[in-house]
Amino acid sequence: MTSSTPQQVRTPQTLWREWLVDKALPLWREAGFDTKRRLFHERLDWQAGPVRLGALRLMVQARQIATYCRATIDTLHDGMDQALTCLDTVEALYHRGDGSAGWVFSVNPEGRPASTKRDLYAHAFILFAYGWAIRMADRPEDRKMARLIAEEIDLIFTAPNEGYLDSIPDSGTLRSQNPHMHLLEAYLAVFEATGDAFYLERARKLIDLARTRLIDRSSGLLLEFFDYRWTPLKAGGQNQVQPGHLFEWSWLLRDYARLSRCDEADRSWLLETAEGLFRAGFVSGCDMSTSRVYDSMTENRVITGHASRIWAQTELLRLLHGAPYSMTHGNEADRFAHGFLERFAPERLNGGWIDHIDANGEPLVDYMPASSFYHIYGAGRQIVLK
C-alpha cells in the first residue's frame, strides 16, 4: 500500500499572481509596446502579434500608462521608465495636437492627428494617467499638466445645465453617465496623489450629479443615457443599465467616502447607495451558474444583453475581493476569480485575454484589446495583494 500527499490547493491569489505578474504584465510591456513609436499597441492577435490599425486612441495609451504606474507602485512590475516615456510621447503627440486646447482623440501611424474631436472619456483617462504618474514619480511637470487638463475639461466640456458634454463637436441630443464616472475616478486619483482640494471639489460635483440625475429615483439604479436635459432617454422600465457600471460606481462611491470629509448624512447616502448598486448588479445582473456578469439589463432588471464583456467581470471581482465583501462573499469571490481565468484568460493565450464572450461562452472577438488591462489590473491587484 502506498501513501500519497494531498495535492496543494492553489488559491485564486496564487493563480492570479502567476497569471498577472508572470504573464500579463510582461506580455503587454514587451509584445504590447511599440519601441519605435514609444506607444502601446491597441490590439494583439491570439499569437501576441500587434494588430496594425490606422489610428491609436488617447484613451488606450492613458489606460496602459496608468496600469504600469500602478503595477510599479505596487511592486508587482517595474514599468516606471516605460510608463514615463510613453506619457511624455503622448503629451507631445496628443495635447493640442491640432493647435487647439485639449487633447486630440487619436493619432495616425505618422503621429499626426487622425481624429481631432475632443472626447470627455479620453480626457478623463489622460487625467487619470497623470494622477498615477504623480503617485509613482511626482515630477513637477506632471502636477502642472494635471491641473491644466482639469482646467481645459471645464473650458471645453462644461454643459449649460450640470455636468459635461460627452464630446466636442456635440450633437446636442445625448448625455452619458460613463465619461462622468471615469472623470470622478480621475479626480479622486489626482486628489489622492496631490492632496489638492481643487480635485476633490470637482469630484463632489460629480457625486451630486449622480445623486440628482444619473441614479434613477424609482429603481435606485444607475441609468446609462439621457437627453440634453438629463431626462432618461427611454420610457420608464426600458432604459439601459449595465451591471458592470453598477459595480464601478459602488466602488467609487465608497472611495469618495474614504477620501472626503463628508458629514454623516452624506456618508450614509454614499455607503447605502454603494451597497444598493452592488446588490442590484450582483443579484440581478449575474449568471451564478457560470459565474459571469451580463452585459446589460433594464431598470426593471430584465436582462437585455446575455453576452459578457471582460471589464464587467473585473469590476465585480474588485468589489468581491475588497472590503467589505471579501469577508461576507468569500465563496463567490473565489468562484468568480477561478471562472474569470477559465473563461476569459485561458492558458493558451499566455497572459492574454478574450474580451467578449456570448451566452454560450464562445468568443465574440478574435483579438486582445489593450484597453481591457486597466480593468483587469484593478481587480488583479485586489486579489494578489490582499
Domain boundaries, the chain: 55-180, 215-386
The answer to whether 32 and 370 are in contact (CB under 8 A) is: yes
- Per-residue confidence (pLDDT) for residue 10, from 0 to 100: 86
Return the pLDDT at 1: 45
The chain-wide mean pLDDT, for the chain, equals 96
**Lookup: cell for 360:** 454560450
| 55-180 matches 215-386 in fold | yes
The string of DSSP codes covering 365-386 is -SSEEGGGHHHHHHHHHHHHH-
pLDDT of residue 178: 98
Task: Dump pLDDT digits (tens) for 325-362.
Answer: 999 999 999 999 999 999 999 999 999 999 999 999 99
Per-residue model confidence (pLDDT) at position 7: 54
The alpha-carbon radius of gyration of the chain (Å, integer) is 21
Q: How confident is the model at residue 8 (pLDDT cuts 50, 70, 90)?
A: low
Q: Is pLDDT at 5 greater than 60 in this prediction?
A: no
- Beta bridge partner(s), residue 369: 43
Using DSSP's 3-state secondary structure scheme, residue 321 falls into coil
Q: What is the pTM of this model?
A: 0.97
User: Is it true that domain 215-386 has CATH number 1.50.10.10?
Assistant: yes
Percent of the chain scored above 70 by pLDDT? Answer: 98
Tell me the three cell numbers of residue 226: 439621457
265/109 Cα distance (integer angstroms): 52
For the segment 289-305, the average pLDDT, to the nearest whole number, is 97
55-180: CATH topology: Glycosyltransferase (1.50.10)
pLDDT digits (tens, 9 = 90+) for 75-89: 999 999 999 999 999
pLDDT of 6 over the 90 cut? no
Residue 126 has pLDDT above 70, yes or no: yes
The confidence score (pLDDT) of residue 386 equals: 84
pLDDT tens digits, 53-104: 999 999 999 999 999 999 999 999 999 999 999 999 999 999 999 999 999 9
The SS3 call for residue 204 is helix
Cell triple for 325: 465583501
d(CA 263, CA 119): 34
